[in-house]
Amino acid sequence: MVQLDVKGWFVAAVPTVGVLALQGDVREHRRVLESCGAATAVVRRPEELERVQALVIPGGESTTMWRLARTFDLLEPLRKRVEQGMPAYGSCAGMIMLADRILDGAAGQETIGGIDMVVRRNAFGRQVDSFESDVEMGGLDRPFHAVFIRAPWVESVGAGADALGRAASGDSAGRIVAVRQGNLLATSFHPELTGDPRIHAYFLEMVKEAS
């Protein structure tokens, strides 16, 4: 968003971070982003996508998000923006949406893609529906206490993607749960639910570097 002062002079270009609002915990992400000083907007239509400089894809249900993205003619515009380098962060269902390949998807389930990784849906959910674990994250000063809800895990990452975070405790210790590839970031867990803004702040640094 280009900002003008009262006389119409250009003062600064402040990136607006969109939150994909087809389904999922949109409000919680907006709250954390805004607490970190970001300007946010909801994205449900292609015109709204055009007006944002970055995008957060919330947790929820990836099969529903995929179907609604098709219905609202958003899937191709989302793919195009990601290909053009728009910074995007996906949490849980959002991680699934950013994966190039998924396992245990619904019949015909499509993603936006962009991160060279294989993500297994509901992987942790086969053990327990939800749990908490510390995550060791590259780029963060100390472990992140993370909440997982019917969460995916990352089976493998390709050469271009960086396994940024791994579960540090419990049965799933060592599993990849955070990945970065260029301007794209994905986590299996829900940092918007725990009151620790460091993942969102990390993403906003990525947005700043890209703009």
Active centre residues (catalytic): 92, 190, 192
- Residues 29, 54, 56, 60: which binds ligand GLN (CB under 6 A)? 60
Shortest separation between residue 61's beta carbon and ligand GLN, angstroms: 5
| Cα–Cα distances in angstroms (integers) from residue 13 to residues 4, 5, 94, in the given order | 9, 12, 27
Query: Per rule CB under 6 A, is residue 149 in the interface with ligand GLN?
Result: yes
- What does the per-residue mask of binding to ligand GLN show for 77-96, with x meaning CB under 6 A? ---------------xx--x
Binding residues for L-glutamine: 60-62, 121, 149-150
Query: Per rule CB under 6 A, is residue 119 in the interface with ligand GLN?
Result: no
- Applying CB under 6 A, what is the total number of residues that bind ligand GLN? 11
d(CA 91, CA 27): 14
Shortest separation between residue 104's beta carbon and ligand GLN, angstroms: 8
Task: Give, for 2, the enclosing helix (H) or strand (E).
Answer: strand 2-4
Interacting residues of 43 by C-beta distance below 8 A, sequence separation 6+? 18, 19, 20, 21, 49, 52, 55, 74
d(CA 7, CA 177): 48
- Residues 150, 197, 198, 201: which binds ligand GLN (CB under 6 A)? 150
Cβ proximity to ligand GLN, 53 vs 97, nearer residue: 97
Listed residue (176, 180, 166, 165) closest to 210, CA to CA:
180
- Measured between its terminal Cα atoms, the distance across the chain in Å is 11
Shortest separation between residue 29's beta carbon and ligand GLN, angstroms: 12
Which 3 state secondary structure label does DSSP give 132? strand
Shortest separation between residue 62's beta carbon and ligand GLN, angstroms: 3
**Residues at the interface with ligand GLN (CB under 6 A):** 59-62, 92-93, 96, 121-122, 149-150
